[in-house]
């Protein structure tokens, strides 16, 4: 099985994975998928949603607000830094 965090943009396009980011507030500490910094409790972050496949929902990426502001949704979801 392919790890979604490591998928290239081409593979995502071929698999037609359509996602978007939703702003949420953490209930427990998380780690940003992009910069690997901790996202503390009660802090806003952006969570990947939109795919109905169960396995993908378990591997959904999460990004801190700093990465979201710096790179934007399209850049983060493309998988390119």
Pairing of strands 30-31, 20-25: unpaired
- pLDDT, position 75: 85
Report d(CA 64, CA 50) in Å as an integer.
19
Longest dimension (CA), the chain: 36
Spatial contact of 3 and 59, defined as CB atoms under 8 Å apart: yes
Spatial contact of 79 and 12, defined as CB atoms under 8 Å apart: yes
- pLDDT, position 51: 65
- pLDDT, position 24: 95
Q: Domains, the chain, ranges and CATH?
A: 4-78 (3.30.1740)
- pLDDT, position 49: 85
Residues of the chain under the 50 pLDDT cut: 1-6, 8-9, 11-12, 14
Q: Is the Cα dihedral 52, 68, 3, 11 positive or negative?
A: positive
- pLDDT, position 52: 64
């Amino acid at each position: 099985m392919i790890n979604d965090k490591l998928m290239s943009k081409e593979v995502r396009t071929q698999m037609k994975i359509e996602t978007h980011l939703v702003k949420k507030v953490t209930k427990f500490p998380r780690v940003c998928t992009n910069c690997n910094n901790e996202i503390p409790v009660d802090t806003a972050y952006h969570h990947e949603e939109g795919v109905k496949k169960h396995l993908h929902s378990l591997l959904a990426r999460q990004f801190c607000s700093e990465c979201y502001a710096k790179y934007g949704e399209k850049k983060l979801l493309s998988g390119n830094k």
